[in-house]
Amino acid sequence: MTEAAIAVVGLRKSFGKTAALRGLDLTVPAGTVCGLLGPNGAGKTTAVRVLATLAAPDAGSARVNGFDVVRQAAQVRRSIGLAGQHAAVEEGITGRDNLRLIGRYHGLGSRGARSRADDLLERFDLAEVADRLVRTYSGGLRRRLDLVASLVTAPPVLFLDEPTTGLDPRSRQEIWDAVRELAEGGTTVLLTTQYLDEADRLADAVAVLDHGTVIEHGTPGRLKAAIGIRIEVTVAQAAQLDTAVRVLADLAAGVPVADPAERRVEVTSGAGRTIALPQLVRELDAAGVSAQDVALRTPSLDDVFLALTAAPGRAAR
Amino acid sequence: MTTTATTAAAPAATTPGRRAGPVSDTLTSALRVLLAYRRSPGLVLASLAVPVAMVLVFGYVFGSAMTVPGSGNYREFLMPGLFVMVAVNGLMPTMVGAARDVGRGLTDRMRSMPVSRSALLLGQALADLLVGVVVLVPLTLVGLAVGWRIRDGLGPALGAYGLLVLFRSVMTWVGTYLGLAAGKEEMAAQLSVLTFPLAMVTNAFVPTGGMPGWLRTVAEWNPISAVVAACRRLFDNPGAVGEAWPVQHPVTATLLWSGLLLAVFVPLAVRKFASHGR
């Protein structure tokens, strides 16, 4: 396989005066799960819409499953499944009928569509509710049906736009299991999410989007390593806060952030730096800071996200 | 075929899924609407109850205070108007439904599939049309029960039914476009209230002769009036015709209005559907 399942180069898209994508580059190797992270308005949904042929790019190129999203839109549509932020299923009919209709649209024929629907309902644990009207489904059930609806053709590439937003933990877990199972079967998945633990659990690689470009890209592990260790110091008296900030600024590569209300200072150590707890306590002590609490943590993807998106003017990679 | 139907997923090198072809897409799309009707008998009952209620309200409540110029029975004057009103009311569910599909992402999902855009809309329009035809049956029976008659034979009557079905499909396309343009269910629901004055400023419920001059002109050039006048002529029901050209030549006017509206709204709806959010 020489070509990536998703290859995006210099993609630009504006709506009126608002630029949603400003030169997006992204490569997703076939058979992997890529998590697209970013704050609201970073361009995640626009990226998915362009890749799913729903929106036309202003500039740049995007290929999905080897097909150009503009010139070969029909082939792209035959290669993809899309589950969006909404549960895009028909409410007034049953779950089974929803899947059968989609099968018919995809040229499986009446019988083919029926047996495919039966297979999927069985496999994703929806057989019991299959003959109920979708209107009576819970939010989680609806979202699961929506996900299954995007799988009717067994598409090689699957786009999931915030698949678990607004779901309870159990329903999220069920969606995650389903996505993992698909990925193991070789489906390429592009997943947008605001939940970093979701990307952490599912994604082989993560791309962090901000203002329409990818500002960081890599495995979750590499991104976490890039910001080093996270240090939190709570001081006994508010007057010592400034001194603590100075001590931490000397020790760590990151810029310490003080929270006077909590009498706490936080900082990330920076890539490759290790800071030992005894050394930290000694330095604080030497500066006359009596620490009430000192903690060293492995950063979460949340920390990565905040560190990356908080820094203004950081150049796009 | 079996590979598409059974394998869980396939890497990038596989042949993409097939497309069904426009005829099949149209039928599937119609099936979608009809399935929704089949699953909610309440919807069918409601669409039957409205015309019956209208016969009672207008025919007996308003009709008790109405005299038709000439010597007609008001309910016989009213029935062609109600036939057309039912066709016009088809606009609202179509409009709200189209807006709901946009709002809930169904339109996006459809557009991400290898399906012909015009086939999708055509299928929905056909299903709407079928429902429109079915509703004519109970409405006819209710009309006959309250004293309305087909007085000029079967041929012209079939012509009248033909025009009603045609106008219903005009309303479907107008509604589809407006719904897609509105994009939100609430917005479409608000807009659909506007169809009420549009439907009232016509010859459907009262003869236009008593209206102030300017309003009378508006009412007589309203496309709905042309259809009502055409039905009255073809069923040979009583009622003063009016002065403007469309109500003087109602059958021709109905065909012209319908052709014009379809020529405008079918391409508009298809374009809106294909380009939504681009």
The tens digit of pLDDT for each residue in A18-50 reads 899 999 999 999 999 999 988 888 899 999 999
Interface contact B19-A65, CB threshold 8 A: no
Task: Report CB contact under 8 Å: A105, B13.
Answer: no
Phi, psi values for residue A8, rounded to 5°:
-120, 130
Task: Tell me whether residue B182 is in a domain.
Answer: yes
Boundaries of domain holding B266: 54-113+138-275
Sheet holding A230-235, edge to edge: A257-259, A264-268, A230-235, A291-297
How many angstroms away from the CA of B33 is the closest CA of chain A?
A: 9
Q: B5: pLDDT confidence band, cut at 50, 70 and 90?
A: very low
Whether residue B161 lies inside any domain: the answer is yes
- Of B125 and B64, the structure prediction assigns the larger pLDDT to B125
Maximum CA extent, chain A: 79
Average pLDDT score, chain B:
85
Hey, what domains does chain A have and what are their CATH numbers? 6-217 (3.40.50.300), 228-298 (3.30.70.100)
Q: Could you tell me if B22 lies within 8 Å of chain A, comparing CB atoms?
A: no
pLDDT number for residue B159: 95
Burial label for A53, CB within 10 Å (0-12, 13-18, 19+), is: buried
Residue B247 lies in a domain: yes
Q: What tokens were used for A36?
A: 């697209």
- Check: CB of residue B234 under 8 Å from CB of residue B227: no
In this structure, are residues A99 and A111 in contact, taking their beta carbons and an 8 Å threshold? Answer: no
Report how far residue B273's alpha carbon sits from residue B120's, in angstroms, rounded to the nearest whole number: 10
| Partner-chain contact A90 B106, CB within 8 Å | yes
Q: Tell whether B35 is covered by a domain.
A: no
Arithmetic mean of pLDDT, A200-227: 87
Q: How close B166 gets to chain A, by Cα (Å)?
A: 27
**Residue A265 near residue A244 (C-beta atoms within 8 A):** yes
User: What tens digit of pLDDT does each residue of A115-137 get?
Assistant: 999 999 998 889 999 999 999 99
pLDDT at B2 over 50: no
Written as six digits, the tokens of A208 are 């962090």
Instruction: Name chain A contacts of B114, Cβ cutoff 8 Å.
Output: 74, 77-78, 105-107
Backbone dihedral angles phi then psi of residue A53, each to the nearest 5 degrees: 65, 20
Dist CA B95 CA B177 (whole Å): 8
Residue A63, token pair as written in the block: 């290929």
Asked whether the beta carbons of A109 and A95 are under 8 A apart, the reply is no
- One-letter amino acid at B80 equals P
Long-range contacts of A308-314 (CB under 8 A, 24+ apart): A308/A208, A308/A210, A308/A215, A308/A216, A309/A38, A309/A39, A309/A208, A309/A210, A309/A215, A314/A215
| Distance (Å, whole) CA B270 – CA B278 | 14
Burial A208-230 (b: 16+ CB within 10 A, else e): bbbbbbbbbbbebeebbbbbbbb
Complex prediction ipTM: 0.81
Other beta carbons less than 10 A from residue B69's beta carbon: 12
Question: Is A178 an 8 Å CB contact of chain B?
Answer: no
Q: What percent of chain A has pLDDT over 70?
A: 97
Identify whether B11 is part of a domain: no
* B77-136 residues touching A, CB cutoff 8 A: 103-106, 108-115
Taking an 8 Å cut-off on Cβ atoms, the answer to whether B9 and A182 are in contact is yes
pLDDT tens digits for range B189-221: 888 888 888 888 999 888 888 889 899 999 999
Q: Is the pLDDT of residue B4 over 90?
A: no
- Give the pLDDT band (50/70/90) at residue A310: low
Q: What is the mean pLDDT of chain A?
A: 87
Of all helices (H) and strands (E), which one includes residue A96? helix A95-105
Check CB contact of B39 with chain A, cutoff 8 Å: yes
Q: How many Cα atoms sit within 13 Å of A155 on the Cβ side?
A: 32
**CA pair distance A137, A171, nearest whole angstrom:** 13
A25 inside 8 A of chain B by CB: no
Residue of B nearest to A106 (CA): B19
The pLDDT tens digits for A151-206 are 898 899 999 998 888 788 888 888 888 889 889 999 999 999 887 788 888 999 99
Q: Structure tokens of A13?
A: 């898209």
Residue B120 lies in a domain: no
pLDDT at residue B210, as a whole number: 85
Name the closest residue on chain A to residue B105, using Cα atoms.
Answer: A88
Token pair recorded at residue B239: 């009622």
Interface test with B, best of A93, A99, A142 (most B CBs within 10 A): A93
Percent composition of chain A: helix, strand, coil (DSSP 3-state, to 5)? 40, 25, 35
A74 CB within 8 Å of a chain B CB: yes
* Distance, CA of A196 to CA of A202 (rounded, Å): 10
Does residue B219 lie within any of the structural domains? yes
Q: How many domains does chain B have?
A: 1
Classify the phi-psi angles of A62: left when phi > 0, otherwise alpha if psi is within -120 to 50, otherwise beta: beta
Q: Which of A8-17, A150-159, B33-42 has the lowest mean pLDDT?
A: B33-42
pLDDT at residue B181, as a whole number: 92
Q: Which of A60, A76, A75, A71 is nearest to A8 (CA)?
A: A60
Find the CB nearest B17 among A52, A78, A182. Answer: A78
Tokens read off for A110: 């009446």
* pLDDT for A223: 80
SS3 B199: helix
In this prediction, residues B18-44 reach a mean pLDDT of 83
pLDDT recorded at residue A134 = 93
pLDDT at A274 over 80: no
A112 in contact with B, Cβ within 8 Å: yes
Provide the b/e sequence for A192-204 (b: ≥16 CB within 10 Å). Answer: bbbbbebbbbbbe
**Mean pLDDT score, B2-15:** 39
The shortest C-alpha distance from A22 to chain B (Å) reads 16
- Lowest average pLDDT, out of A76-85, A183-192, A307-316, goes to A307-316
- Computed on alpha carbons and rounded to an integer, the radius of gyration of chain B in Å comes to 21
pLDDT confidence of residue A196? 77
Size of interface A-B (CB pairs under 8 A): 151
Please check the confidence at residue A221 and state whether its pLDDT lies above 90. no
Of A239 and B262, more confident:
B262
Q: B83: helix, coil or strand?
A: helix
Q: Which amino acid would we find at residue B98?
A: A
Are A156 and B9 inside 8 Å of each other by CB?
A: yes
C-alpha to C-alpha distance for A30 and A11, rounded to whole angstroms: 20
B6 touches chain A (CB under 8 A): yes
Asked whether the beta carbons of residue A31 and residue B11 sit closer than 8 angstroms, the reply is: yes
Please tell me the predicted confidence (pLDDT) of residue A201.
87
User: What is the percent of chain A with per-residue pLDDT over 90, rounded to a whole number?
Assistant: 41
DSSP-assigned letter for residue A289: -
Quickly count helices (H) and strands (E) in chain A.
11, 14
- The answer to whether position B162 is within a domain reads yes
Q: Which of the 8 DSSP states describes residue A314?
A: P
